[in-house]
Each structure stands twice: as structure tokens, then as C-alpha cells.
Amino acid sequence: MRTLRTADMVSGVLLAAMGLLSVLASLKIKGVTGEHLHPRTLPYLLSLVVLITGIILFFNAWRYRGEERIVDWPDREGWKRIAVSLIGIIVYMLLIEPLGFTLSSFLFLFFLIWYLGRYNVLLIILLALATSVVIYFLFIQFLGLTFPVGPLGW
């Protein structure tokens, strides 16, 4: 996956697999016969396009003998930051419904700002608190958007 060639080969295979899966799934779409455009026709054709272009992408990359192009992947540290941040985001989304939007947002902001910036903890708490409070008043109180509220009502 280091070079664009390998990456293209991998994505070609993945796309082709996805296209195949989608072709099979579209064949199962029911519909009334006698229509000019069956509900399954477009999904079927598009899946076929994905399948075929995936294969072409793979073979193009396989045949490619030009200058080696390196994909700009992150280094070890970069991967770690991405992974930790993604886990943070996922945990945040899982917490939104049980804890309520405001509290979970506060926790999320606190964690991610701390993790990415390592600022003074007090400063981060203030920042996260201020943001969550402003968002609570702006979006939930003022605009009346129905976000999940936790057991405490916010």
C-alpha cells in the first residue's frame, strides 16, 4: 500500500468485490414486470460499472511500469493519532444517546483537545465547557433542535 500502484490494485479489488456484492443484491430487487425501467435496472447497471471499473483499475495498476508514486500515508505517529481520534469520535457517538448531547460533547471536546494539543487541563476544561454551554443554549434551547438529552435533562 506504500505506492500508488499497490494502493490502486488493492482498491481495484475491493471495488470489484463491492460491485459484485451489489450486483447480486440488485438482482434480488423485486418489481413489477412491464415497467419501462425496472427498479432493479439502474442499481444493477451501476453495480456492474463499479465491478468493471474496479477490475480495470486493478489491471491498469498491475500493468503500470512508470515512475513509482508514493502514497502520502501518515507515519507511525500519524496512524496513532488517527486511530485514537477515530476511537474518540466513535465513543462520543455511542455516548450521545445515553449521556445526552451536551455532556457527551463536553467529554469529547475535553478528550480530543487534550489529546491533540496537550494544553493546560484547566484551559481545556473551560474551553470545552464554554463550547458545550453555548451549543446547548444555541441549538437546543434557542433553535429547539431535538437532540438526545441525557438523564439530567441536557
Partner 1 sequence: MNILYAFLGSIVGTLVGVLPGIGPTSAIAILLPLTTILPPIPAIIMMAAIYYGAMYGGSTTAIVVNIPGEASSVPTAMDGYQLARQGRGGPALGIAAISSFVAGTLSLVGLTFFAPLLANVALAFGPPEYFALMFMALSLVISLSGKALLKGLIATALGLLVAMIGLDPLTGEARLTFGSVSLMAGINFISVIIGLFAIGEVLVNIERAVAAIYENKIRDWLPTLEDLKHSWGAMWRSSIIGFFLGLLPGCSPAVTTFIAYDAEKKISKRSHLFGHGAIEGVAAAEGANNATCSGGFVPLFSFGIPSGPALAVLLGGFMMYGLQPGPMLFKENPDLVWTVIASMYLGNLILLILNLPLVGLWARIALIPFPILGPMIILFSVIGAYSVRFLMFDVWVALLFGILGYLMRKLGFPLAPMVLATVLAQMLETSLKQSLVLSSGSPLIFFTRPIAAAFMFLAIIMIVWGLWLQFSGRSAQLAADESD
Which residue ranges make up the site for partner 1 (CB under 8 A)?
Answer: 4, 7-8, 11, 15, 22, 25-26, 29-32, 35-37, 39-40, 42-43, 46-47, 49-50, 53-54, 56-57, 60, 71-74, 77-79, 81-82, 85-86, 89-90, 92-93, 96-97, 105, 108-109, 112-113, 116-117, 119, 127, 131, 135, 139, 143-148
Nearest-Å Rg of the Cα atoms of the chain is 24
Shortest Å, Cβ 152 to partner 1: 19
* Three cell numbers written together for 43: 442499481
100: left (phi over 0), alpha (psi -120 to 50) or beta: left
How many CA within 13 A on the CB side of residue 98?
5
Shortest Å, Cβ 58 to partner 1: 11
Do 101 and 147 form a contact (C-beta atoms < 8 A)?
A: yes
Shortest Å, Cβ 29 to partner 1: 5
Shortest Å, Cβ 10 to partner 1: 9
Sequential DSSP letters for 50-61 = HHHHHHHHHHHH
> Between 89 and 153, whose beta carbon lies closer to partner 1?
89
3-state secondary structure of 124: helix
